[in-house]
Amino acid sequence: MSLSAFHRLLLALCWLPLAALADGSLSAEREQELETLLYQDCGSCHGMTLRGGLGPPLPRSRMNAFDRDGLAALILHGVPGTAMPSWAGLLSEQEARWLADHLQHDTPLDE
Ligand code: HEC
Protein backbone atom coordinates (compact mmCIF):
# COMPACT_ATOMS: atom_id res chain seq x y z
CA MET A 1 0.00 0.00 0.00
CA SER A 2 1.41 3.42 -0.89
CA LEU A 3 0.86 6.66 0.96
CA SER A 4 -0.82 9.56 -0.78
CA ALA A 5 1.28 12.62 -1.46
CA PHE A 6 -0.70 14.43 1.21
CA HIS A 7 0.15 11.87 3.84
CA ARG A 8 3.78 11.95 2.82
CA LEU A 9 3.74 15.72 3.27
CA LEU A 10 2.16 15.42 6.70
CA LEU A 11 4.75 12.85 7.71
CA ALA A 12 7.58 15.04 6.41
CA LEU A 13 6.24 18.02 8.38
CA CYS A 14 6.20 15.99 11.57
CA TRP A 15 9.90 15.31 11.14
CA LEU A 16 10.92 18.91 10.57
CA PRO A 17 13.24 19.87 13.40
CA LEU A 18 11.73 22.43 15.74
CA ALA A 19 14.00 25.26 14.56
CA ALA A 20 12.01 28.36 15.48
CA LEU A 21 9.58 28.71 18.37
CA ALA A 22 6.26 30.51 18.07
CA ASP A 23 7.57 33.71 19.71
CA GLY A 24 10.24 33.99 16.99
CA SER A 25 13.14 32.92 19.17
CA LEU A 26 15.29 29.92 18.32
CA SER A 27 14.96 26.63 20.16
CA ALA A 28 17.73 25.79 22.62
CA GLU A 29 18.56 22.84 20.39
CA ARG A 30 19.04 25.05 17.32
CA GLU A 31 21.14 27.52 19.34
CA GLN A 32 23.38 24.61 20.32
CA GLU A 33 23.70 23.60 16.65
CA LEU A 34 24.56 27.17 15.66
CA GLU A 35 27.23 27.35 18.35
CA THR A 36 28.75 24.11 17.01
CA LEU A 37 28.58 25.52 13.48
CA LEU A 38 30.34 28.72 14.62
CA TYR A 39 33.33 27.00 16.19
CA GLN A 40 33.60 24.13 13.69
CA ASP A 41 32.49 25.43 10.29
CA CYS A 42 33.31 29.13 10.70
CA GLY A 43 36.27 27.97 12.80
CA SER A 44 37.69 26.02 9.87
CA CYS A 45 38.73 29.41 8.45
CA HIS A 46 38.64 31.73 11.46
CA GLY A 47 40.29 29.24 13.84
CA MET A 48 38.56 26.90 16.31
CA THR A 49 38.91 29.60 18.97
CA LEU A 50 38.18 32.35 16.39
CA ARG A 51 41.76 33.65 16.65
CA GLY A 52 42.17 33.68 12.90
CA GLY A 53 43.59 31.45 10.20
CA LEU A 54 42.66 31.83 6.54
CA GLY A 55 40.02 34.29 7.79
CA PRO A 56 40.78 37.06 10.32
CA PRO A 57 40.27 36.67 14.08
CA LEU A 58 36.74 37.50 15.28
CA PRO A 59 37.19 39.04 18.74
CA ARG A 60 34.14 40.60 20.45
CA SER A 61 35.78 44.05 20.42
CA ARG A 62 36.10 43.91 16.63
CA MET A 63 32.62 42.38 16.17
CA ASN A 64 31.10 45.30 18.07
CA ALA A 65 32.46 47.69 15.44
CA PHE A 66 29.59 46.34 13.29
CA ASP A 67 25.94 46.83 14.13
CA ARG A 68 24.21 43.51 14.66
CA ASP A 69 22.19 43.55 11.44
CA GLY A 70 25.22 44.57 9.38
CA LEU A 71 27.17 41.69 10.85
CA ALA A 72 24.29 39.30 10.16
CA ALA A 73 24.15 40.53 6.54
CA LEU A 74 27.91 40.00 6.16
CA ILE A 75 27.51 36.42 7.41
CA LEU A 76 24.54 35.75 5.14
CA HIS A 77 26.09 37.24 2.00
CA GLY A 78 29.79 36.63 2.58
CA VAL A 79 32.50 39.01 1.36
CA PRO A 80 32.57 38.88 -2.45
CA GLY A 81 36.03 38.44 -3.93
CA THR A 82 37.38 36.78 -0.76
CA ALA A 83 37.24 33.28 0.70
CA MET A 84 34.40 34.37 3.03
CA PRO A 85 31.44 32.43 1.61
CA SER A 86 27.74 33.25 1.64
CA TRP A 87 25.79 31.27 4.25
CA ALA A 88 22.36 32.17 2.91
CA GLY A 89 21.75 28.61 1.73
CA LEU A 90 22.32 27.18 5.20
CA LEU A 91 21.16 29.86 7.61
CA SER A 92 18.00 31.93 7.94
CA GLU A 93 18.22 35.68 8.65
CA GLN A 94 17.14 34.98 12.21
CA GLU A 95 19.94 32.43 12.61
CA ALA A 96 22.52 34.83 11.14
CA ARG A 97 21.33 37.48 13.64
CA TRP A 98 21.76 34.96 16.44
CA LEU A 99 25.34 34.26 15.30
CA ALA A 100 26.04 38.00 15.02
CA ASP A 101 24.72 38.55 18.53
CA HIS A 102 26.78 35.61 19.79
CA LEU A 103 29.94 36.99 18.14
CA GLN A 104 29.32 40.39 19.75
CA HIS A 105 28.61 39.16 23.28
CA ASP A 106 29.27 35.49 23.97
CA THR A 107 32.54 34.28 22.42
CA PRO A 108 35.57 33.85 24.70
CA LEU A 109 37.84 35.98 22.49
CA ASP A 110 38.04 39.71 23.28
CA GLU A 111 41.24 41.45 22.30
C1 HEC B 1 36.18 29.36 3.58
C2 HEC B 1 36.68 30.19 4.67
C3 HEC B 1 35.68 30.91 5.55
C4 HEC B 1 34.62 30.37 6.23
C5 HEC B 1 34.15 28.92 6.27
C6 HEC B 1 34.02 31.48 6.97
N7 HEC B 1 34.70 32.63 6.74
FE8 HEC B 1 34.29 34.45 7.54
N9 HEC B 1 35.81 35.29 6.46
C10 HEC B 1 36.70 34.59 5.67
C11 HEC B 1 37.64 35.52 5.08
C12 HEC B 1 38.80 35.19 4.14
C13 HEC B 1 37.28 36.81 5.57
C14 HEC B 1 37.95 38.15 5.27
C15 HEC B 1 37.24 38.80 4.11
C16 HEC B 1 37.90 40.13 3.82
O17 HEC B 1 39.03 40.12 3.34
O18 HEC B 1 37.26 41.15 4.11
C19 HEC B 1 36.12 36.62 6.43
C20 HEC B 1 35.48 37.65 7.10
C21 HEC B 1 34.52 37.46 8.08
C22 HEC B 1 34.00 38.50 8.94
C23 HEC B 1 34.40 39.97 8.92
C24 HEC B 1 35.61 40.11 9.81
C25 HEC B 1 36.17 41.51 9.81
O26 HEC B 1 36.86 41.84 10.80
O27 HEC B 1 35.94 42.27 8.86
C28 HEC B 1 33.08 37.92 9.78
C29 HEC B 1 32.26 38.59 10.86
C30 HEC B 1 33.03 36.52 9.41
N31 HEC B 1 33.90 36.27 8.39
C32 HEC B 1 32.21 35.61 10.05
C33 HEC B 1 32.08 34.28 9.65
C34 HEC B 1 31.10 33.38 10.19
C35 HEC B 1 30.10 33.72 11.31
C36 HEC B 1 31.26 32.20 9.53
C37 HEC B 1 30.42 30.94 9.69
C38 HEC B 1 28.96 31.09 9.56
C39 HEC B 1 32.37 32.36 8.60
N40 HEC B 1 32.84 33.64 8.70
C41 HEC B 1 32.89 31.36 7.78
C42 HEC B 1 36.70 33.23 5.43
C43 HEC B 1 35.74 32.33 5.88
pLDDT in tens, 15-60: 445 566 778 899 999 999 999 999 999 999 999 899 999 999 999 9
Sequence ranges of the domains in the chain: 27-105
3-state secondary structure of 26: strand
Distance, CA 81 to ligand 1 centroid (Å)?
A: 12
Q: Is the CB of 85 under 6 A from ligand 1?
A: yes
* DSSP 3-state of 20: strand
pTM: 0.77
pLDDT of residue 9: 46
Cα 97 to ligand 1 centre (Å): 15
Q: Is the pLDDT of residue 66 over 90?
A: yes
Name the closest-CA residue to atom 41, ligand 1.
42
Report the pLDDT value the prediction gives residue 19, as an integer from 0 to 100: 61
From 84, 98, 101, the mutation candidate for ligand 1 (largest count of ligand atoms within 8 A of CB) is 84
Name the fold adopted by 27-105: Cytochrome Bc1 Complex; Chain D, domain 2 (1.10.760)
**8 A C-beta contact, residue 57 and residue 47:** yes
Are 74 and 15 contacting, i.e. CB atoms less than 8 angstroms apart?
no
CB 86 within 8 A of CB 76: yes
Task: Specify the residue with its C-alpha closest to ligand 1, atom 10.
Answer: 84
Residue 20: strand pairing partners: 26
What separation in Å is there between the alpha carbon of 18 and the centre of ligand 1? 28
Asked if 36 and 81 count as a contact pair (C-beta separation under 8 A), the reply is no
pLDDT reported for residue 4: 57
Residue 69 has a CB neighbour count (10 Å cut-off) of: 12
Q: Provide the pLDDT for residue 13.
A: 44
Instruction: Please give the distance, rounded to the nearest whole angstrom, from the Cα atom of residue 46 to the centre of ligand 1.
Output: 7
Strands (E), the chain: none
